[in-house]
Amino acid sequence: MTAAAAEASLGRALVEEATKKSGLIWVRGTGPARALWHVWHEGAAHLVGDGPGEQPFPPGLTDGSVAEVTVRSKDKGGRLVVWTADVAELAPHSEEWEAAVGELKGKRLNAPDAEWMPERWARECRVLRLVPGECRARLPDDSLAAAPLPTPATTRRPVPAGLPRLLKRGRKG
């Protein structure tokens, strides 16, 4: 085995092991990266989303496209490995789709309709398979920090003017 082949083999093993253990992966299509939950199944990361109540996929994550996947360390939370992925959208109720959904269903937390979830996913969502390609052995030197994505969520509002007096009055004794 040549040195390049050995390095590629180690890279694939690192991608698989790190992705299996990580609860989230950061996926970049054509726009900003998004943190997505996934399952590792049959040599690829599988995602479900883009439907009501499910995670939104980043722009450009379509069948036949290429995505960049960043995996963080489970114990330290830092970037561990970056790999490119060939994106394939699985056809609802195909053999691959059924196998992937079986794995995804077991990992989906807080589903309001756990029993009917696969049917809802078939109707309203997309199931993607991210097949590993090139693994970047050398990580970037910069932090790759980015501004948060727009969201309707808000932060806490200012404390009402009378609240400090009410709290102070309750501490007598």
DSSP E strands in the chain: the ranges are 24-28, 34-37, 39-41, 44-49, 66-72, 79-89, 126-136
Q: CA 136 to CA 70: how far, in whole Å? A: 10
Enter the pTM of the model: 0.78
Our CA dihedral for 97, 100, 105, 108, rounded to 10 degrees, sits at -120
Q: What percent of the chain has pLDDT over 90?
A: 51
pLDDT value at position 55? 93
- 3-state secondary structure (DSSP) of residue 151: coil
**Which segment of 15-19, 90-94, 112-116 scores lowest on mean pLDDT?**
112-116
**Which segment of 4-8, 15-19, 78-82, 158-162 scores lowest on mean pLDDT?**
4-8
pLDDT value at position 30? 93
pLDDT value at position 78? 80
pLDDT surpasses 80 at 154: no
pLDDT surpasses 60 at 173: no
Return the DSSP state at 164: H
Express each pLDDT in 57-107 by its tens digit.
999 999 999 999 999 887 887 888 899 999 999 999 999 999 999 999 988
Distance, CA of 147 to chain centre: 18
pLDDT surpasses 70 at 139: no
pLDDT surpasses 60 at 137: no
Mean pLDDT of the chain: 87
For each of the domains in the chain, give its residue range(s) and CATH number, in order of start.
Answer: 3-169 (2.30.110.10)
